[in-house]
Amino acid sequence: MNPAGLSLEQAPPFSVPLRFFLTAPWFLALAAALMFWEGPLIFASRWLPATLALTHLLVLGFMAQVMLGALLQILPVAVGVTIPYPRLTAALIHLPLTLGTLTLAGALLFSLPSGFAHAVGLLGLGFGVALLAFHIALWRAPVASGTVIALRCALGALLVTVALGLLLAGGLSWGWSLPVVELTNLHAVWGLAGWTALLLAGVAYQVVPMFHMTPPYPTGLTRSFAPLMTGVLAAGSAFILLDWTVAALVAGLALAMGLIAFAAGTLYLFTQRRRKISDPTLGYWRMSMGSLLAGAALWLLTQWIPALATAPQVEWLLGILLIFGFAIAVINGMLYKIAPFLAWFHLQAQLLGRAKIPHIKQLLPDTPVRRQMRVSLAALLLLLAAAVYPALFTYPAALALGATGVWLGVNLWSVWRTYRRILREGLAIAPAIQ
Amino acid sequence: MTLNLPEIVVDGRGLEPPEPMERVLAALDVLQPGQRVRFLIHRQPYPLYDILRRYHYPYETIKGVDGGFEILISAP
For the segment A366-389, what is each residue's pLDDT rounded down to a tens digit? 999 999 999 999 999 999 999 999
DSSP string, A363-406: HS-HHHHHHHHHHHHHHHHHHHHHHH-HHHHHHHHHHHHHHHHH
Length of chain A: 434
* pLDDT at residue A324, rounded to an integer: 98
Q: In chain A, what percentage of residues exceed pLDDT 70?
A: 97
For the whole model, what pTM was predicted?
0.91
What's the rounded Cα separation, in Å, for the pair A282 and A217? 17
Are A151 and A138 within 8 A, CB to CB? yes
In a domain, A429, yes or no: no
* pLDDT at residue A10, rounded to an integer: 65
Judge whether A3 is closer than 8 Å to chain B, CB to CB: no
In a domain, A431, yes or no: no
What's the rounded Cα separation, in Å, for the pair A26 and A22? 8
In a domain, A417, yes or no: yes
ipTM above 0.90, yes or no: no
Q: Report the CATH number at residue A302.
A: 1.20.210.10
* pLDDT at residue A306, rounded to an integer: 84
For the segment A147-191, what is each residue's pLDDT rounded down to a tens digit? 999 999 999 999 999 999 999 999 988 888 899 999 999 999 999
Overall average pLDDT of the A391-403 stretch: 98
**Beta-bridge partner residues of B70:** B40, B62
Closest C-alpha to A130, from A79, A80, A71: A71
Are A317 and A324 within 8 A, CB to CB? no
Q: Determine the 3-state secondary structure of A13 from DSSP.
A: coil
* pLDDT at residue B65, rounded to an integer: 79
What's the rounded Cα separation, in Å, for the pair A150 and A199? 6
DSSP string, A415-430: HHHHHHHHHHHHHHHS
How large is the greatest C-alpha to C-alpha distance in chain A, in angstroms?
A: 70
Q: Which amino acid is at A414?
A: S
In a domain, A325, yes or no: yes
What's the rounded Cα separation, in Å, for the pair A346 and A360? 12
- Please report, for residues A99, A195, A391, A415, the alpha-carbon distance to residue A26 in angstroms, rounded to integers and kept in the order given: 13, 22, 26, 16
Judge whether B66 is closer than 8 Å to chain A, CB to CB: no
A349: exposed, middle or buried (Cβ count in 10 Å: 0-12, 13-18, 19+)? buried
- Please report, for residues A15, A84, A223, A422, the alpha-carbon distance to residue B54 in angstroms, rounded to integers and kept in the order given: 19, 19, 34, 20
* pLDDT at residue B54, rounded to an integer: 86
Number of domains in chain A: 1
> Residue A34's domain spans which residues?
8-423
- Per-residue pLDDT for A194 more than 80? yes
Q: Looking at per-residue confidence, does A8 or A71 come out higher? A: A71
Closest C-alpha to A148, from A201, A195, A89, A83: A201
Strand blocks (E) in B7-46: 8-11, 36-41
- pLDDT band for A128, please (50, 70, 90 cuts): very high
Overall average pLDDT of the A20-33 stretch: 98
Are A212 and A176 within 8 A, CB to CB? no
For the segment A212-236, what is each residue's pLDDT rounded down to a tens digit? 889 999 999 999 999 999 999 999 9
Rounded to the nearest 10 degrees, what angle do helices A390-429 and A366-388 cross at? 160
Judge whether B75 is closer than 8 Å to chain A, CB to CB: no
What's the rounded Cα separation, in Å, for the pair A68 and A23? 12
Interface test with A, best of B23, B49, B51, B54 (most A CBs within 10 A): B54
Are A329 and A61 within 8 A, CB to CB? no
What's the rounded Cα separation, in Å, for the pair A125 and A423? 35
What's the rounded Cα separation, in Å, for the pair A89 and A310? 43
What rounded mean pLDDT belongs to chain A? 92
Task: Tell me the nearest-neighbour CA distance from B30 into chain A, angstroms.
Answer: 10
In a domain, A205, yes or no: yes
In a domain, A2, yes or no: no
Are A394 and A319 within 8 A, CB to CB? no
Interface A-B, measured as beta-carbon pairs within 8 A, has a size of 56
* pLDDT at residue A290, rounded to an integer: 98
Residues of A in contact with B51 (CB under 8 A): 348-349, 352
How large is the greatest C-alpha to C-alpha distance in chain B, in angstroms?
A: 37
Are B5 and B34 within 8 A, CB to CB? yes
Strand blocks (E) in A77-160: none
For the segment B36-74, what is each residue's pLDDT rounded down to a tens digit? 999 999 888 888 988 898 889 999 999 987 878 999 999
Q: Determine the 3-state secondary structure of A259 from DSSP.
A: helix
Using CB atoms, which residue from A78, A211, A348 is nearest to B16?
A: A211
**Beta-bridge partner residues of B74:** B36
Judge whether A130 is closer than 8 Å to chain B, CB to CB: no
Q: Poorest-confidence range of A36-45, A341-350, B2-11? A: B2-11
Judge whether B18 is closer than 8 Å to chain A, CB to CB: yes
In a domain, A432, yes or no: no
Interface test with B, best of A275, A342, A348, A360 (most B CBs within 10 A): A348
- Determine the Cα angle at A223 with ends A220 and A229, to 5°: 110
For the segment A405-427, what is each residue's pLDDT rounded down to a tens digit? 999 999 999 999 999 999 999 88
What's the rounded Cα separation, in Å, for the pair A279 and A213? 11
- pLDDT band for A431, please (50, 70, 90 cuts): low
* pLDDT at residue A1, rounded to an integer: 33
- Per-residue pLDDT for A5 more than 50? no
CB contact (8 A) between residue B51 and residue A80: no
Rounded to the nearest 10 degrees, what angle do helices A366-388 and A280-304 cross at? 20
Using CB atoms, which residue from A8, A80, A210 is nearest to B17?
A: A210
Length of chain B: 76
What's the rounded Cα separation, in Å, for the pair A192 and A198? 9
In a domain, A219, yes or no: yes
Using alpha carbons only, how large is chain A's radius of gyration in Å?
21
DSSP state of B38: E
- For A357, phi then psi, to 5°, come to -90, 130
- pLDDT band for A105, please (50, 70, 90 cuts): very high
